[in-house]
Amino acid sequence: MEIKLMKCGCSGFATHQREHDGLPKDHPCCITHDCCEVVETPNLTGRRARCSYYGKPVKGGSYNSNCCGKCVVGDVCKCEEDSSHNLWFFKYKPDKEFDEYYCACHGAD
């Protein structure tokens, strides 16, 4: 599935299973913001994204078994990647220095 950028700034990882508002079945959407409007994909070259928990303590426990593998429990999250629509919960933030994503340092059940 090709990942599309939505008007809300998030990547549209989900798809609606029904038609609505003139959109066909199985169109991309952002479930966080209930957004179905696709926008032109910006050039992400040279942009960086930080985990939404960047600088905050990494939580431990069995629920954290799917973490990115870079975080250490008891330390703070320092995850930063090249911006990409394929990052988990990617959010394009053109007015900020960094885009945002989630590295799973607080779990990924």
Cα–Cα distance, 5 to 33 (Å, whole number): 13
Residue 99: per-residue pLDDT: 96
Dump the DSSP string for 22-84: TBPTT-EEBTTTTB--B-PPPP-TT-EEEETTBTSBPP-SGGGTTS-SS--TTSBB--EEE--
Give the tens place of pLDDT for each residue, 32-86.
888 888 888 888 999 999 999 999 988 765 555 556 778 877 889 999 999 998 8
d(CA 78, CA 76): 6
Contact 77, 54 (CB under 8 A): yes
- The single-letter DSSP state of residue 106 is T
Q: Which pLDDT does position 101 carry in this prediction?
A: 93
Residue 29's pLDDT band, with cuts at 50, 70 and 90, is: confident
pLDDT higher than 80, residue 94: yes
